[in-house]
A and B are shown apart, each in its own frame.
Chain A
């Protein structure tokens, strides 16, 4: 008989399972390839759980409604792909400044513009970091397998609720549409975090209370009446022109993620201990890389893989340490060099950094990586 709760799931279906597991009870979005199965799945699952689903009139409406749902106290999510992610950027900035928890899934596809809707890509790495204006924290997780899409979606919700910030789940079309066996975790098996609720009296409540690095967030309608604005604001939520308060608040929202980066970072290291050449990559490309590393090792080449599951905040320290002990870091990515720039920044010239790019809507193959690594030995 089949193993308990083991199912063959598509990546996008695993994302739905992860969201439901994490307690997501509000979804608003707009159809876009290759993420639509997430929205379809949520439309089926949420009503059965008493949760709310709405298909909005556009991408902006999708994220705006999801933010409304979150502010009303429900764990909320929206999902999209490149062009829709572009449209959502203004609301992402709003969520950063107003500190409303939200999970945004971006199933990356080829671009710019409408690009190649059905082909894989990793070209939203920088958009995730810099897409909205201003300085703001960004947390983005990058699963590599279908089971990991489930667990990383849960982690994304935990981070969003814990840090009161939007958290992105970035993966590509290959992962979104491929199927792998997934064992659905039992209740309690994975950690599920909920946002802190205020314990003070309503009249003492400040939504950005500077007693806290991350203040508790009261849901609308819970007796804590407060004001939320996308303008720079004071700890009571009201707009301010006071330059000291503006600076302190902007720095605080960066700091809340920065000083906690150790707990947000998550890397997998594959045969890095004695590696002479390292590969740094994410998502489905990391699967090709792992395949290549195995083949390289068979040919006696000391290759290894550093695979971040958290791409933002960028794993600065892991890359810096790696750069001290390898000849080269190869960065395969389905774009024209977005992660490579960051790896170069962290390696600071201590080793060679070489990008391996592909933007034709086809995956980077193990043999491409295999041959690229061999160039350095």
Chain B
């Protein structure tokens, strides 16, 4: 079980949490040398309200595809944070958007709070890339995938016109996370 590294991206529908999960899985399994399984909340949940994507990363085969003990969780809304934080394991990380999540849950895990959406708005003028900033932050915080792998994964998923924007967003994510460590 210790080989599994579990990440949960959560927020509201439309914030790109599922895309973040897919990119993380690709960074690990396609552009990295690990195995990964990605799953997500599906159906009405994914059309607004709280939504989540989960990625399990491991060096070996991954049997159970759902999160069991979460190593790192991202919460981009208060609702998602409240609803989904219960599976974070002892010593795990909870990264929250500080402007969205005012009531931080208590538990045996480390809480990191940062204005992710605000940073996207102020430094890049586009809140749409908040998910890519968060992806950079998680890559940096967890070290489960390399910067190089996650960058390749991001760039393979975005349209050519937005390559620079997403590259910058990812870089911002790496840098801001270093400050939080």
A and B touch in their complex, CB below 8 angstroms: yes
Task: Verify B65–A174 contact, CB threshold 8 A.
Answer: yes
Of B30-38, B123-131, B164-172, the one touching chain A: B30-38
Say yes or no: is B68 at the interface (Cβ < 8 Å to chain A): yes
Q: Which residues of A contact B36 (CB under 8 A)?
A: 8, 180-181
Taking a contact as CB atoms under 8 Å apart, the answer to whether B22 and A8 are in contact is yes
Bitwise, A174-186 to B at CB < 8 A (1) or not (0) is 1001111100000
Contacts of A2 in B (CB 8 A): 30-31, 152
Q: Which residues of B contact A6 (CB under 8 A)?
A: 29-30
Contact A8 B39 (CB under 8 A): no
The verdict on B162 contacting chain A, using a C-beta distance below 8 Å, is no
B42 touches A8 (CB 8 A): no
In the assembly, what is the distance between CA of A33 and CA of B40, in Å?
15
A363: nearest residue on chain B (CB-CB)?
B66
B66 to chain A, nearest CB (A): 6
Given the interface contacts A180-B37, A366-B63, does A34 sit within 8 Å of B42 by beta carbon?
yes
Contact among B30, B44, B65 with A287 in the assembled complex (CB-CB below 8 Å):
B65
Q: CA separation between A6 and B40, bound complex, in Å?
A: 21
Contact present for A179 and B25 (CB under 8 Å): yes
Query: With a CB–CB cut-off of 8 A, which chain A residues contact B45?
Result: 118
Given contacts A2-B30, A8-B29, A118-B43, contact A290 B37 (CB under 8 A): no
A178→B38 contact, CB < 8 A:
yes
- B43 and A284 form a contact (CB under 8 A): no
**A295 at interface (Cβ–Cβ under 8 A)?**
yes
**Are B26 and A177 within 8 A (Cβ)?**
no
Residue of A nearest to B43 (CB): A118
Q: Is the CB of B39 within 8 A of A295?
A: no
Contacts of A117 in B (CB 8 A): 43
- Chain B window 68-81, contacts with chain A (Cβ cutoff 8 Å), 1 for yes, 0 for no: 10000000000000
CB distance from A218 to the nearest CB of B (A): 44
A179 in complex: contacting residue of B1, B31, B37, B152, CB < 8 Å:
B37
Whether, in the assembled complex, A3 has its beta carbon less than 8 Å from a beta carbon of chain B, the answer is yes
1/0 contact string of B16-29 vs chain A (CB within 8 Å): 00000010011001
Tell me the bound Cα distance from A177 to B41 in angstroms. Answer: 9
- Given the complex, which residues of A lie within 8 Å of B25, measured CB to CB? 8, 179
Give B169 Cβ to nearest chain A Cβ, in Å: 21
- By DSSP majority rule, is chain A's interface helix, strand, loop, or mixed? mixed
The distance from the CB of B30 to the nearest CB of chain A, in whole angstroms, is 5
From B30, B63, B65, B152, contact of A181 by CB (8 A): B30
Q: Are A287 and B64 in contact (CB under 8 A)?
A: yes
The residue on B at minimum CB distance from A174 is B65
Task: State whether A8 touches B43 (Cβ < 8 A).
Answer: no
CA distance A295 to B64 in the complex (A): 12
- Number of B interface residues in the complex (CB < 8 A): 24
- The docked-state distance in angstroms from the alpha carbon of A307 to that of B40 is 25
For A288, give its contact among B22, B29, B44, B63 (CB under 8 Å). B63
Which one, B29, B44, B64, contacts A291 given CB within 8 A?
B64
Chain B residues closer than 8 Å to A177, beta-carbon distance: 39-40, 42
CA distance A193 to B169 in the complex (A): 49
Are B65 and A178 in touch, CB under 8 angstroms?
yes
Closest to B31 in A: A2
Q: How far is the CB of B49 from chain A (nearest CB, A)?
A: 13
Contact of A3 among B30, B37, B39, B65 (CB under 8 A): B30
Q: Interface code A2-26, partner B: CB below 8 Å = 1, 0 otherwise?
A: 1100111000000000000000000
Of the candidates B25, B37, B40, B65, the one having the most CB atoms from chain A within 10 angstroms of its own CB is B65
Q: Which residue of chain A has its CB nearest to the CB of B38?
A: A179
Which residues from B are CB-within-8-Å of A284?
65
Known: A117-B43, A174-B39. A8 touches B30 (CB 8 A): yes
Q: Given the complex, which residues of B lie within 8 Å of A294, measured CB to CB? A: 63
Contact of A290 among B35, B39, B63 (CB under 8 A): B63
Closest to A288 in B: B64
Residues of A within 8 A of B37 (CB): 178-180
Residue of A nearest to B153 (CB): A8
A59 CB within 8 Å of chain B: no
Q: Complex formed: what's the CA distance from A2 to B32 in Å? A: 8
Which residues of chain A from 344 to 377 have any CB-CB distance to chain B below 8 Å in the complex? 363, 365-366
Query: Are B63 and A287 within 8 A (Cβ)?
Result: yes
Q: 28 A-B residue contacts at CB 8 Å? A: A2-B30, A2-B31, A7-B30, A8-B22, A8-B29, A8-B36, A33-B43, A118-B42, A118-B44, A118-B45, A174-B39, A174-B65, A174-B66, A178-B38, A178-B39, A178-B65, A179-B25, A179-B37, A180-B36, A181-B29, A181-B30, A284-B65, A291-B63, A291-B64, A363-B66, A365-B64, A366-B63, A366-B68
Q: A8-B25, A179-B37 are in contact. List 9 more A-B contacts (CB 8 A).
A: A8-B29, A118-B44, A174-B66, A177-B42, A179-B39, A180-B36, A181-B36, A288-B63, A290-B63
Closest 4 A/B residue pairs (Cβ)? A118-B43, A291-B63, A181-B29, A179-B38
On A, residues with C-beta under 8 Å from B are: 2-3, 6-8, 33-34, 117-118, 173-174, 177-181, 284, 287-288, 290-291, 294-295, 363, 365-366
Q: Footprint of A on B, CB under 8 Å? A: 1, 22, 25-26, 29-31, 35-40, 42-45, 62-66, 68, 152
